[in-house]
Amino acid sequence: MAKHDKIEIGASAILNPVPVVMVSCAGKDPSKEDQRPNIITIAWAGTVNSEPPIVSVSIRKSRHSHALISDTGEFVVNLVNKQLCRSCDLCGVKSGRDIDKFDKCGLTAVKAEGLEYAYAVKEAPVSLSCKVLSVTSLPSHDVFTAEVVKVTADSYLLDDNGRLCLDNANLVAYNHGEYFLLGKKLGFFGYSVASEEIIKKRMG
């Protein structure tokens, strides 16, 4: 068989790799057990607009976090690094109806910047505070489209010029059921048309 001969493998949402994120939220009365701060692991998240910054997350209607986000209209997208990977996985296989995921994972819930109800994961390298703009109901999931109103990042990720250096965050991606640490940099936006001088400077 030639290298690029194709075979039919059926219809599937097999777009990979994708970011894996820990989406945190809470109810309007976090003192109640069913409204306490919670985390759901999501692999179906993406950017849908730049100005203003808008993201989307797809959540099954049966998930505990679905009800919390529907009630408050808020959530936080917490990026996942190598240190958070195990906790990220646990938050994807356990339900917040049954356990306190923050407590179980030894994580710290902090009030999210710019939001009234949702909590962020303090240990996450970057957290995006989001306010829901719309909800699109699909057969298996609802798509929450939300504006990013604030972003917080660990200070070590900023260089001397204040530029955010996510390449230092040890971020994790999700690929067909498995977690991978991001690897070798192959290029940068526009490198295909950049001068040799710029390429040398940017690629080290």
DSSP string, 35-104: GS-EEEEES-EEEEETTTTEEEEEEETTSHHHHHHHHHSEEEEEE-BGGGHHHHHHHHHS-TTTS-HHHH
- Check residue 44 and give its pLDDT: 94
- Report the pLDDT value the prediction gives residue 1, as an integer from 0 to 100: 57
Residues of the chain with pLDDT under 70: 1
Secondary element (H or E) of residue 133: strand 126-137
pTM for the predicted model, two decimal places: 0.94
pLDDT score of 3: 83
pLDDT at 28: 96
CATH 2.30.110.10 assigned to domain 18-203? The reply is yes
pLDDT tens column, 52-92:
999 999 999 999 999 999 999 999 999 999 999 999 999 99
